[in-house]
């Protein structure tokens, strides 16, 4: 009987880990051809299953290097290297990401090889899904391990292109890493093939024609250069594919109040109309371990579950405050933890961020300081720090903004309530990756949604110098979040700043920010409290903006696998 090397054999040469044997590993070519549709379902579902472990690391490696969150303390967990930029050659989380990625590539490739297209629309749909998954994975791999596209994609390395195993594995030699350009070309080819083959309006838990178009919109945006040196050809293509999704009529932006509950909807929930594709998780397969160690469990403790070790950063909170006191709908995904007394009452307080210095007076970082609010006889406010009275000066009382002179410097802070602290940091829980179906940290990681398409349009139009259309599209998102908050003017001077800020606000905690800064040739700055080296900046030219390929994978690879410098 002729064998097809589905998953287990092929990936064993791309992974140093022992693989669990799945039900689909015993499928032979004869068995597949005898009942194609049933066999394809089994094999394709195996690819979707691999996305669940893959998406956990995908989130961390995309979000943690950014400036939306902070962690309460250093950690021995491998994910801390994403936060600290102190890359390590053997990172078990990156091994999971690498292995699961190539499992999906291997299995989808073998499925594509054995099943001819054009037999019927049902099989073509499934083949299209396989192409989509393979193309998406190549793109995500290149984001993590390859340098930004604007930076010499013809010579910088992406990842190995290994679309299934050869018929003979004797003296097997797999290719070294392709260039970034070649990896992107593979991703685009697969995504376009998936777009052409998929024909069913499946729900957002599955790949569709529009999911391929949405991913192509993002891929071309990543190829569109920087604001200072744009590639207008790729900007045009990003616009084209964004509009394909929008004009399909299959998706609608959620209204403001519904969007504020976006995290509670499963991807196939009839109440949500915005998600294009997500990695669906269900409660029956989401263990108690997941509720603590999964994505949401690090951001909050909800319903008694989760570590709650990572909070919204000072920078992200300041972006939210720009729209005025709790006017931005995206506050719905931030849950400040307040101190309450036995009667469930809060205590008014003043909180600000100040410069942290060593004994010599050299600044080493930033820290929070909060104290209960007290009132002078004239009605003005003050706080007491180390038995010293500090009067507050009104900056904007309607927004609860006051200033304080502390240690010889004036700081602006917020009149609020006393918050619970964890190692000195106020606990601004993040709930965007939690509460699906009101189940603490159940979460289906979002791959694409309609909101991103409008932001892609805004950036692509700005790179073309069409600031009118850029403003129209960024305002579609902005006005959904902030009533009356649309920009009246967008120009060459302010477009990149305003569009990037809106993208950061809207797509926070969806694994974009760690890449959005670097693909536009910018510098990651994180001047807010936390143990993340807040005074160190990382320009797009830094070697640390791309991840190491785990050394264990290099050692197991049958052939040369060049490491990043």
Q: pLDDT tens-digit profile of 479-499?
A: 999 999 999 999 999 999 999
Average confidence (pLDDT) over 55-64: 98
User: What is the tens place of the pLDDT at every residue in 109-163?
Assistant: 989 988 889 989 999 999 999 999 999 999 999 999 999 999 999 999 999 999 9
Number of H helices, E strands in the chain: 18, 18
145: Cβ–Cβ under 8 A, 6 or more apart, which residues? 157, 158, 159, 177, 546, 547, 549, 564
Nearest residue to 234 (alpha-carbon basis) of 217, 248, 247, 246: 217
Least confident of 38-47, 115-124, 191-200, 255-264: 38-47
Q: What pLDDT, on a 0 to 100 scale, did the predictor assign at position 115?
A: 86
User: Are 112 and 124 within 8 A, CB to CB?
Assistant: no
User: What percentage of the chain reaches a pLDDT higher than 70?
Assistant: 93
* pLDDT beyond 60 at 394: yes
User: Are 150 and 160 within 8 A, CB to CB?
Assistant: no
pLDDT band at 168; cut points 50, 70, 90? low
* Residues 504, 507: Cα–Cα separation, whole Å: 6
User: What is the tens place of the pLDDT at every residue in 81-120?
Assistant: 999 999 888 999 999 999 999 999 999 998 998 888 998 9
Q: Considering the entire predicted model, what is its pTM?
A: 0.94
Show the 3-state SS of 452-481: HHHHHHHHHHHHCCCHHHHHHHHHHHHHHH
Q: What pLDDT, on a 0 to 100 scale, did the predictor assign at position 32?
A: 65
Q: What pLDDT, on a 0 to 100 scale, did the predictor assign at position 20?
A: 32
210-213 contact pairs (CB < 8 A, 24+) = 210/244, 210/245, 210/248, 210/250, 210/251, 210/276, 211/132, 211/276, 211/277, 211/447, 211/448, 212/128, 212/131, 212/132, 212/135, 213/241, 213/244, 213/245, 213/248
Structure tokens at 325: 């006191």
* pLDDT beyond 90 at 39: no
Least confident of 83-92, 414-423, 507-516: 83-92
253 DSSP 8-state letter: P
Nearest residue to 328 (alpha-carbon basis) of 63, 457, 506: 506
**Phi-psi group of 122: left, alpha or beta (phi > 0 → left; psi -120 to 50 → alpha; rest → beta):** alpha
């Amino acid at each position: 009987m002729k064998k097809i090397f589905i998953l287990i054999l092929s990936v064993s040469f791309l992974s140093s880990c022992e693989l669990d044997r799945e039900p689909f590993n015993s499928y032979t070519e004869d068995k597949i051809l005898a009942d194609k549709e049933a066999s394809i379902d089994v094999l394709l579902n195996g690819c979707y299953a691999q996305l669940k472990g893959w998406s956990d690391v995908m989130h961390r490696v995309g979000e943690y290097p950014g400036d939306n969150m902070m962690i309460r303390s250093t950690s021995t967990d491998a994910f801390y290297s994403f936060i600290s930029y102190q890359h390590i050659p053997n990172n078990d989380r990156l091994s999971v990401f690498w292995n699961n990625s190539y499992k999906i590539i291997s299995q989808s490739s073998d499925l594509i090889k054995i099943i001819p297209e054009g037999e019927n629309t049902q099989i073509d749909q499934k083949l299209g899904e396989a192409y989509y998954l393979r193309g998406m994975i190549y793109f995500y791999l290149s984001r993590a391990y390859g340098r930004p596209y604007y930076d010499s994609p013809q010579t910088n390395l992406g990842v190995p292109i290994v679309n299934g195993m050869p018929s003979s594995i004797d003296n097997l030699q797999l290719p070294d890493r392709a260039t970034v350009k070649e990896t992107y070309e593979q991703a685009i080819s697969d995504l376009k093939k998936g777009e052409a083959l998929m024909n069913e309006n499946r729900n957002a838990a599955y790949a569709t024609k529009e999911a391929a178009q949405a991913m192509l919109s993002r891929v071309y945006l990543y190829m569109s250069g920087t604001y200072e040196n744009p590639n207008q050809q790729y900007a045009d293509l990003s616009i084209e594919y964004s509009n394909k999704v929008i004009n399909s009529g299959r998706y609608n932006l959620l209204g403001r109040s519904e969007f504020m509950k976006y995290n509670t909807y499963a991807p196939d929930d009839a109440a949500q109309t915005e998600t294009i594709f997500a990695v669906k998780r269900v409660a029956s397969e989401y263990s108690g371990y997941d509720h603590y160690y999964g994505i949401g469990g690090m951001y909050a403790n909800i319903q008694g579950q989760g570590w709650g070790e990572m909070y919204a950063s000072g920078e992200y909170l300041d972006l939210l405050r720009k729209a005025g006191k709790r006017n931005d709908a995206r506050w719905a995904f931030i849950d400040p933890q307040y101190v309450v007394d036995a009667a469930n009452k809060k205590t008014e307080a003043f909180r600000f961020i100040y410069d942290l210095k060593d004994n010599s007076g050299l600044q080493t970082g930033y820290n929070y300081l909060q104290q209960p609010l007290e009132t002078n006889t004239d009605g003005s406010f003050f706080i007491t720090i180390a038995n010293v009275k500090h009067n507050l000066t009104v900056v904007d009382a309607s927004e609860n903004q006051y200033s304080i002179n502390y240690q010889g410097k004036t700081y602006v802070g917020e009149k609020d309530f006393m918050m619970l602290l964890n190692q000195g940091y106020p606990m601004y829980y993040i709930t965007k990756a939690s509460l699906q179906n009101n189940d603490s940290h159940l979460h289906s990681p979002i791959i694409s949604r309609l909101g991103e398409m409008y932001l892609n349009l805004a950036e692509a139009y700005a790179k073309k110098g069409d600031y009118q259309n850029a403003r129209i599209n960024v305002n579609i998102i902005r006005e959904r979040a902030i009533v009356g908050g649309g920009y009246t003017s967008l120009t060459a001077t302010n477009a990149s700043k305003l569009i990037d800020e809106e993208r950061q606000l809207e797509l926070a905690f969806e694994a974009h920010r760690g890449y959005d800064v670097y693909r536009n040739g910018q510098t990651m700055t994180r001047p807010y409290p936390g143990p993340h080296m807040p005074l160190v900046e990382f320009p797009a030219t830094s070697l640390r903006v791309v991840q190491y390929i785990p050394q264990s994978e290099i050692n197991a690879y049958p052939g040369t696998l060049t490491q990043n410098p």
